[in-house]
Structures are given as C-alpha cells and as structure tokens.
Amino acid sequence: QHNPHTKHGRTAIVHLFEWRWADIAAECERFLAPNGYAGVQISPPNEHITLTSPWYPWWQRYQPTGYNLCSRSGNENELRDMITRCNNVGVNIYVDVVINHMCGAGGGEGTHSSCGGWFSASRKDFPSIPFTNMDFNDHKCRTGSGDIENYGDANQVRDCRLVGLLDLALEKDYVRGKVAGFMNKLVDMGVAGFRVDACKHMWPGDLQNTLGRLHNLNTKWFSGGSRPFIYQEVIDLGGEPITSREYFHLGRVTEFKYGAKLGTIFRKWNGEKLSYTKSWGEGWGFMPDGNALVFIDNHDNQRGHGAGGAAIATFWDPRIHKMAVAYMLAHPYGVARVMSSFRWDRNFVNGKDQNDWIGPPSHGNGATKPVPINPDQTCGDGWVCEHRWRQIKNMATFRNVVNGQPHANWWDNQSNQVAFGRGNRGFIVFNNDDWNLDVTLNTGMPGGTYCDVVSGNKDGGRCSGKQIQVGGDGHAHFKISNQDEDPFVAIHADSKL
Ligand code: QV4
Ligand code: CA
C-alpha cells in the first residue's frame, strides 16, 4: 500500500539509524513533532545475532535469530512505549523488517543473540519462532556455493543465499504465517508501516500473500480500514532481469537512481550539470512518482555497501549533502526520507573503508549509547543528527508548506545555477557553479519580505538569515556567492516576515 498515512500535513520520514527506542521516543516529543517530521524509520526491532568478530557490527541486526522484540535498541516495553509516545504526537513509526532470511550460515550455535535465545545456524534451527531446516530454500537453490552468484539469474537471486544468509522458504504457508504474525504484532502495537529489506530476493507473489495477511492499522491512531504503508528495498539501477516494476502493486519501492544521480550532479562528475534536472523525476527514467521512496543516502551506501558508490552525498561532505537533501525536499517527486547517521572512524585502503562495519556509538560492550543533545541543539557522542541541521530541518518544513503544489517557475543558467518554485508557496535557488549568482527571477510568490530558511531561521517576526524582497509582480533579486557556506536560498509562505 502506497500511502504513508502521515499526520497534520507532514511529509518527510527520517531514518534514525541504530537509535535506541528511549531516544526515539524523546526525539518524537522534543524535536520531530515540533519541527514537522512525519515519521521515523527504525532499525530492525527483533532478536538478532550478536557478533564479536568484527565487534558488534551494525549489520548484525540484518541477521535475525528470532521474532522476539529485543534488540540493540531496547526491549519490547521500550519499543511499545516509543510507538505510543510517537503516535501521540502524530509521528509515525515505520519498521525495517528483515524477512528474506535469518542469520548467516556461518553464525554458529548458542545464545549469542540479542534476547539471549538459543539458536543454531548450522542446523537451521530457530526454536523461539520456531523455524527448522524445512523452512529454508536450500533445496531450491542451484548454485555451487548455495549463495547468489549471478544477479543475471532471477531464480538464484530469489532462492539462494544473499551473502550466506539462510534463505527463508516464503512460498510455504507456515513461513508466511510466522512472518505475518511477527509483522502483525507490530501493526497492533501501532506502527504505520514497513521498510521491507531485500525484496529483490523475494518472489513478488510470496510477498503479496504475506503482506495480504497484515492487519489494518491500529484505530487508536489511524482511521478504520487503513492498510500498512509498505516500501520495499529493491536496488534497481537497470541492467538486471529483476526490476522495481515487479513490486509496484505491493507498495512503494526505493528509487536508488535518485541519490546516485543527484550525488553525481552536485559533485559535477561525468559532465553532469544541475541545469539538466529541469525534468527531474520521471523525466529521468525514474519509476512513477506514486511508487517512489526517495533519499540521498541510506545506511548502506553511506559506507560503501549496497549501490551508488562514491557518488553518494553523505554527511562526510556536508556542503554537497545539504544541497542534495534540500533539492530532494523542495522537489515534489516521491515520498522523501532523510538519513540520520552516526560517525565512525573511516579508514580507506585502496578505496575501500576497512571500518565500514563499525556499529553505533557504544560503551564498548555492544550497548548503544544514548543520544545527548547539546545546548546548540546538535547531538553529541558521535551521533550526527543530520535531521537537526538547520538547513535540513527547515527544508523539511518547506516540503510541508508546499505540499501538493506543482513544480513551477523553473530557471537555469545552462550550468549549475537553477531555481524552481512550488506553486505560489515556496521558491528555492541553487548556485553550484564556481562563480557568483546575481539574477532577478520570477518566484511566483506574493509580494513581501521573506526569511531565507537556509542561512537562518524565522523566529517570531525576526529573521536570523538573509532577507529576500519579493515585489508585487513576484520577482525577486537573488545574490549567492559561490563562497557561501551554503550556496542556496529558500523561502516559503510561512517564512514571510
Ligand atoms: C560472508 C561472505 C559470503 C559468505 C558468508 C558465509 O561475504 O560470501 O557466503 O560470509 O557465512 C554480513 C557480512 C558478509 C557476510 C554476511 C553473512 O558483511 O560479509 O557474508 O554478513 O555472514 C547488511 C550488510 C551486509 C551484511 C548483512 C548481514 O550490508 O554486509 O553481511 O547486513 O549482516 C544487495 C541486496 C540488498 C542489500 C545490499 C547490501 O540486494 O538487499 O546488497 N541491502 C539490504 C540491507 C543491508 C543488509 C541486507 C540487505 C541483508 O539494506 O543493510 O546487509 O539483510 O544489493
Ligand atoms: Ca530469498
């Protein structure tokens, strides 16, 4: 189902990657709701393997060992409290669910799992669910290694092991029932939907059956008959037999071309220019608007996993990252997701980060640290909190203010200076060239003085950033130095002084 069921005209989702439930609950109340964020994507909440070599990597959470709800982010009570408190302030929760597989085949045997439950990867035995060796796909897989070896063969992509992860037989009624039961427990607790991991590796028919078993959303917070929002992780950059299109009828799909292209454009690689984005969206060969879930970076490709490579614009390149995220939030295409990261010690050897496995800030024993908030509203202890950066936070508001308005009043200099508006509700101007921008443009907005929400905030009647004068004819003069800390300017109906 394609509708995120957002509340109060809010639009943007933030992925609070690896945050603890207690911190997310507090963040919903103190920051997300007051600043108009629509929802949170949370890390997988169920039991997962714990590994010590490498030391508690972030990706251990993509190796389920059971469906009990205790994880590195907290226990079931903390999860329930978080869902309740976020819902009570109108912030939706979307759960990252890993249902294609269990842990790696080499995961051993014992109680090294986040709830302390016993399992055996070697015997394919997960008694807390229970799944046994009859619930996996190995008999169907035809590759020598049992792993996916060739993405050109759709059968092995669906029926073999993704990097050695024990592949569930989702064709079985029993497995479908267990997976749906796990998801329904979360639906009943009040979540609004799911980011479904590794959908390329599951048959659309199996997914359709499983998702068809989901309950309607909890009527304490959602109107009767509401179906869970589904967005499916399928990496489709073209060139493979499995396409995003096969999944459109089930829900939205992650559009990986979006961040890969926009990163390339803002980096000015491969001869790309910002002016070419006049037809951004479907005009670039992206999936239909109503199917797309868009983002600049995600938890994989910000550290070299997944797709997109070095072009991806992450918090490590803040100037480019802020521009790319602002472009996404200003543009009408897709449901938008903002990444909120933790920092780690990058260590590139021959272009590969040796530390791409490092988990969230922790006390050393694998217990994730809380997110402390500094007096200036930034986060401490290695939490990056991109969603709190003024430029990004204010663009999330921009997206809400212009929601439903058409892309309008495009201008470009045939290079890397562009501008566009959203009806008569908002206007944004970018200068990604190596020279100044100095131009008068039709903003389409009512006359008046507006506060630029990139360089500052509107606070009461005052503006801490640049002020933009829009004349009675909708025209305004813009000057943006290529030396500016953030070489873009954005105004909207609610930033009028
Ligand atoms: C290793 C070898 C295998 C070998 C296996 C033997 O590489 O060849 O068969 O040991 O046991 C980790 C390790 C990986 C290891 C594997 C199994 O990195 O080296 O295999 O565990 O032990 C995340 C990480 C992976 C990690 C995985 C499980 O990115 O590195 O694997 O979690 O912990 C494709 C998919 C797409 C996927 C993307 C990364 O189409 O669906 O790759 N993205 C999603 C998630 C991603 C997650 C998974 C899928 C798996 O966004 O975070 O992978 O749930 O494009
Ligand atoms: Ca599979």
With a 6 Å cutoff on the Cβ, whether 164 touches ligand 1 is yes
pLDDT value at position 471?
Answer: 98
Inter-residue contact 12 to 337 (CB < 8 Å): yes
How many A from CA of 52 to the centre of ligand 2? 26
**DSSP 8-state code for residue 265:** H
pLDDT value at position 347?
Answer: 97
How many A from CA of 162 to the centre of ligand 1? 6
pLDDT value at position 364?
Answer: 82
Half-sphere CA count of 360, side-chain side, radius 13 A: 23
* Residue with CA closest to ligand 1 atom 40: 198
pLDDT value at position 225?
Answer: 98
Instruction: Give the ligand with the smallest distance to the CA of 300.
Output: 1
Instruction: Give the ligand with the smallest distance to the CA of 136.
Output: 2
With a 6 Å cutoff on the Cβ, whether 295 touches ligand 1 is no
pLDDT value at position 366?
Answer: 84
Closest ligand 1 atom to 98 CA: 54
Question: E strand or H helix at 294, and its extent?
Answer: strand 292-294
pLDDT value at position 247?
Answer: 98
Question: Tell me: the pLDDT tens digits for 251-296?
Answer: 999 999 999 999 999 999 999 999 999 999 999 999 999 999 999 9
CA–CA separation, 424 and 219 (whole Å): 36
What does the mean pLDDT of the chain come to?
Answer: 98
CA–CA separation, 360 and 312 (whole Å): 21
With a 6 Å cutoff on the Cβ, whether 305 touches ligand 1 is yes
CB atoms within 10 A of CB 113: 25
Q: Which residues of the chain have pLDDT under 50?
A: none
CA–CA separation, 293 and 280 (whole Å): 15
State the complex-level ipTM: 0.97
- For residue 219, give Cα distances in angstroms to 28, 160, 327, 354: 20, 39, 35, 47
With a 6 Å cutoff on the Cβ, whether 163 touches ligand 1 is yes
How many A from CA of 256 to the centre of ligand 2? 20
Which residue out of 150, 299, 305 has the highest number of ligand 1 atoms within 8 Å of its CB and is therefore the one to mutate?
Answer: 305
pLDDT value at position 245?
Answer: 98
Question: Tell me: the pLDDT tens digits for 218-252?
Answer: 999 999 999 999 999 999 999 999 999 999 999 99
With a 6 Å cutoff on the Cβ, whether 106 touches ligand 1 is yes
pLDDT value at position 463?
Answer: 98
Within 138-246, where are the H helices?
154-159, 173-189, 204-212
How many A from CA of 78 to the centre of ligand 2? 31
How many A from CA of 163 to the centre of ligand 1? 5
Half-sphere CA count of 320, side-chain side, radius 13 A: 22
CA 145 to chain centre: 32
Residues annotated as catalytic are 197, 233
pLDDT value at position 365?
Answer: 81
